[in-house]
A and B are shown apart, each in its own frame.
Chain A
């Protein structure tokens, strides 16, 4: 039995411990917002947060994160609400096919949580592991700046995560 806390909800699962977290969250818990792109930590489509840090769930065995706090795209804003990052993404019409965007948003959210006014260089560093085949990168860059501004000037739901450090 493996215990998992996902978006604040605790689950106890009877599952093989080497199953990558991505498939557990998608197929057992039914949260399909996180995507499969490469299965090798190379594209970022599967990005979730572990104690506030972005990580690649396609290569993380579920047993390795047992008992820890995990956040997915479904958990970054309450229902019918958008986070500053999501709002900025809408303002700039970022998504094309949209498949990479959950992962992009999870990486951007983690960046802004620790660095409220990132420079272009900071954005490069934080986002280089998230691929987008449709080529939405210029808009992602602008949208992160915009989200930083929104967080300063407007009231937005902010993700607070349990930290065990």
Chain B
């Protein structure tokens, strides 16, 4: 628990009076990032990222520099605020904050929404902001009424005196704004909660069922032109020759030109309408030059295997003496697991709107990282960081794709050249082929059996690229956005070199592997960095998305080797993890473990990610060579729950996302070019294929942890383990395919 007084003393809250007479509290929220900062602490500079505004007409507005992409942050943060402010969440207006020079204080952290951290990192700060405002309003009422503060309470937007009329907050804000922020705030105790753990109305549902929510693709500016880009099919490819004569002549076309942005070369077509731009694009005749390294899938796996064989890698975990255990074991189990590249396939394709003129540049983007968007725009235009404003919009799915800012870079480049408002839209084909993919990976697992028969050693060696190398060009500069632009490349280099010192550790490959929870005496986990040159990025659950499958499948293999029930085998080895046991037991109860649905077999998996434990049990049939998932039950412990229904929705969504990967997900490459293009060859799970899903939440008073991602990692393993139980086939590669 954070020390609230200390937090307050460090000045994360500032209050001011508004010209209109209202009260404004500015709140510094910690940066949200899946990366842990293990270097020197460079914190505590003032960085406002949320405002609470109460107007004289009782209007409560919460301006938030955190994005909503479906994960429920919007509802969650408002719930926290209202719990302490004592007002109905349904009456709070939420606005999205942009990034502009208002924030231009030295920032050493990034404004990023990711890593399932929005609620956990904001839990106390937002409540403290709400509570501070509440106390200031009470102090104002006390002053006016001559009643001691201790005799006042707040309820539903009013201060209630012991006798007489309740006073609306709006009537008090003028005076409240003259009060100092109290330093001795006491937050409500869990038994006093009225909204936390109870409030279950999704506040953004209305705009989304009426078609009113404005996504990035819906932004419209006067005189706006539409841009599309034909990009080199392989990352790093360049243009050998281009004939754009026909495209230039096509109706509505304004400009056609070669360009390079965010490492991608292409030819842009700008026209008066989207369709005109698309039709003209068809007329381009481009010959591409392949990059030096343009791998196909087989090359990637071969390179991984080669690196695993020849490099020792970094040893991330070394309990006991695995090598000795292995030498002394007469029985050793070995298995190799492979996972493919995956696209994000957000339903709203990548899109950006930029206006550039003599006054500056404005960007509208569905981005998970507005501060990085600003850097990307600056790097690809003639504008200084300070002259760029970034507005965020509703986001049609993020899943990590929109942590990368390539679409902003491209659109900024085009708008800068034309000095006109531009909307850039990726087609589905372009979105699928120019993603930053969930990396493919190769895993070698070895277990050793003691002479007495029990398993005592576990080794996991994996080959995987470093996602941060692809992320860092914008991220490093965003951390130092006050530096002149010409230093950005140097900062990028520093970001790579300084990993673990200046930049956070890149755990994207091994998270979920190095923290194996099972009580084996000897555990060794090695990460071998292998870099095939395919663009990669953060993808929902990041490293856990592959390590959850690998570790929980291999655990299942070990259970069978031991002739033990897979659930019981896990339980014995998790005695030190009561929260893991609780989710396992709950899932077993929900699934009637041992009594599968008719025609099905069951598989179990449990995994912790982003602080949250999740156990899932799948009931699967394999009739006629087809894997059919009939039901998945899920038990989750994410600490104290803010909105129970959001947790359930995120688990459901996570399971479906994970099922798509388990059953269909595969991006393949040929000479560096992605072969898939649209939903016919990169399918997503559909409604009729969706199994029955049920979710149970374990009651907990532990600190809140993430829910956006942790539903994903166990799914593929639970299904694969059920497939084994049903068919005897151990599938060690995704997507699952019966032989």
Contacts and interface: CB of A to CB of B under 8 A. Distances in A.
B582 interface: no
B218 interface: yes
A124 B687 contact: yes
Contact of B215 (A19, A35, A133, A134): A35
Contact of A96 (B70, B211, B428, B680): B70
Nearest to A135: B656
A96 B275 contact: no
A95 to B, nearest CB: 4
Contacts of A26: 218
Contacts of B686: 128-129, 131, 137
B396 A99 contact: yes
A73 B208 CA distance: 10
A37 B209 contact: no
Contact of B274 (A27, A31, A101, A139): A27
Interface string B181-203: 00000000000000000001110
Interface residues of B, number: 60
Contact of A135 (B425, B645, B655, B688): B655
Contact of B209 (A31, A90, A129): A90
Interface string A14-41: 0010111001001100111111111110
Contacts of B655: 135
Interface string B334-358: 0000000000011111000000000
A68 interface: no
A23 B274 contact: yes
Nearest to B693: A138
A90 B205 contact: yes
Contacts of A138: 652, 690, 692-693
Given A42-B678, A96-B71, A135-B652, A32 B218 contact: yes
Contacts of B204: 95, 98
Contacts of A42: 428, 678-680
Contacts of B654: 135
Contacts of B395: 97
A141 B687 contact: yes
Interface string B647-690: 00100111111000000000000000000001110001111101
A86 interface: yes
B427 interface: yes
B428 A37 contact: yes
Contacts of A23: 273-275
A130 interface: yes
B433 to A, nearest CB: 14
A98 B213 contact: yes
Given A40-B678, A42-B678, A93 B345 contact: no
B205 A95 contact: yes
A148 interface: no
B69 interface: yes
Contact of A19 (B72, B275, B685): B275
> Could you say which of B71, B394, B649, B685 has the most chain A C-beta atoms within 10 Å of its C-beta?
B649
Contacts of A132: 347, 684, 687
Contacts of A133: 345-347, 397, 399, 657, 684
B282 to A, nearest CB: 12
Contacts of B207: 98
A33 B212 contact: yes
Interface string A134-152: 1111111100000000000
Interface string B209-227: 1111111011010000000
Nearest to B398: A97
Secondary structure dominating the interface of A: loop
B677 to A, nearest CB: 9
A60 to B, nearest CB: 13
A102 interface: yes
Contact of B211 (A18, A73, A130, A137): A73
Nearest to B203: A93
A135 B657 CA distance: 7
B679 A131 contact: yes
B377 to A, nearest CB: 23
Interface in B362-403: 394-399
A141 B692 CA distance: 11
Contacts of B656: 135, 137
A104 to B, nearest CB: 9
Contact of A99 (B72, B397, B678, B693): B397
Interface string A109-126: 000000000000001110
B680 A135 contact: no
A37 B427 CA distance: 8
Given A35-B348, A139-B649, A95 B71 contact: no
A4 interface: no
Interface string A37-78: 111101101000000000000000000000000001110010
A82 B687 contact: no
Contacts of A98: 70, 204-205, 207-209, 213, 394, 396
Interface of B: 69-72, 200-202, 204-215, 217-218, 220, 251, 273-276, 345-349, 394-399, 425, 427-428, 645, 649, 652-657, 678-680, 684-688, 690, 692-693
Interface of A: 16, 18-20, 23, 26-27, 30-40, 42-43, 45, 72-74, 77, 82, 86, 89-90, 93-102, 105, 123-125, 127-141
Q: Ordered nearest first, which 9 A-B pairs have the shortest CB separation?
A: A33-B211, A135-B656, A98-B208, A99-B396, A97-B70, A96-B70, A135-B653, A73-B211, A124-B688
Given A135-B685, A137-B686, A137-B687, 20 more contacts: A19-B275, A33-B210, A34-B211, A35-B217, A39-B428, A72-B211, A74-B211, A93-B205, A93-B645, A96-B71, A96-B72, A97-B395, A124-B688, A128-B686, A129-B686, A130-B687, A132-B684, A134-B657, A135-B655, A138-B693
24 contacts: A16-B276, A19-B275, A23-B275, A27-B220, A37-B428, A39-B427, A40-B428, A86-B209, A89-B205, A93-B201, A93-B205, A94-B209, A95-B209, A99-B215, A99-B346, A100-B347, A101-B209, A102-B211, A124-B688, A128-B688, A133-B346, A136-B652, A137-B687, A138-B692
